[in-house]
Amino acid sequence: MAVLINFKICDNAKECGGIAVCPTGALSYNDEKESIVIDNDKCISCGRCESECPIGAIMVARTDEEYDKLKEEIDNDTRTTKDLFVDRYGATPLSEFFMIESVDIENKVNNDGITLIELYNDDSIQCLLKSIAIKDLTKDLPKDTLFYKAEATDNILEKYNVNELPSLLVFKKGKILGNIDGYYTVDEKEKLLSELDEILQK
Ligand code: SF4
């Protein structure tokens, strides 16, 4: 009958899994509009796209009632893609408190403990359900370990030798010990933890 996308939380990526599995072309990416577009005349409500979306942004309605209900649900959704990003490493939402400006990094890491700073840019935003929870990332670290996120600038990338975003910068007592570049999924948790451990042994 119809497919709906909650664009309030959808990251509108060309690589959308829903587009990839749609057998009829009802979902496609329009380069001009830089957006996923829906052609409901082609949708057969097979539901394949729905199960591809890890954040539940794609919904398939099989009746008019269902369509109205889902539409209302989307209209009333107060979340944004930014909310999902803020959650990126967290099973529970992290507050805005964790978001800092890259110019503030030096001030934030200037303490006696460990501080993790995640650098990101818009292209490095990944879905919440595929990422590693911050509580897991820091489970073996001291309780006073701090964690912040900052949008990367060219200066910062150069300063900390970052090759790929997102990048996790690891500081101890104000000094950079190292960084882990690139996106890690839950399957790679152990690898990420062992890299982090190696950096902290320095
Ligand atoms: S429900 Fe099926 S036909 Fe409709 S958009 Fe999703 S994958 Fe395509």
Furthest C-alpha separation in the chain: 61
Q: Is the pLDDT of residue 50 over 90?
A: yes
Q: What is the mean pLDDT of residues 15-30?
A: 94
| Other beta carbons within 10 Å of 75 | 9
pLDDT given at position 168: 93
The alpha carbon of 57 and the centre of ligand 1 are apart by a number of angstroms equal to 13
- The residue type found at 195 is E
Asked if residue 46 has its Cβ within 6 Å of ligand 1, the reply is: yes
User: For residue 23, is the peptide bond before it cis, meaning its omega torsion is within 30 degrees of 0?
Assistant: no
Spatial distance between the Cα atoms of 27 and 48, rounded to a whole number of angstroms: 11
DSSP string, 153-165: -HHHHHHTT--SS
pLDDT given at position 191: 92
Asked if residue 128 has its Cβ within 6 Å of ligand 1, the reply is: no
Asked if residue 152 has its Cβ within 6 Å of ligand 1, the reply is: no
Spatial distance between the Cα atoms of 182 and 201, rounded to a whole number of angstroms: 21
Nearest protein CA to atom 7 of ligand 1, as residue? 22
Q: Which of 49, 53, 58 has most ligand 1 atoms within 8 Å of CB, for mutation? A: 49
Output the pTM of the full model: 0.59
In percent, how much of the chain has pLDDT > 70? 88
Spatial distance between the Cα atoms of 25 and 4, rounded to a whole number of angstroms: 14
Residue the block writes with tokens 């939380």? 9
The alpha carbon of 8 and the centre of ligand 1 are apart by a number of angstroms equal to 20
Nearest protein CA to atom 4 of ligand 1, as residue? 43
Band of residue 156 on the pLDDT scale cut at 50, 70, 90: very high
Q: Is the pLDDT of residue 92 over 60?
A: no
Q: Quick: pLDDT tens for 1-18.
A: 899 999 988 878 888 889
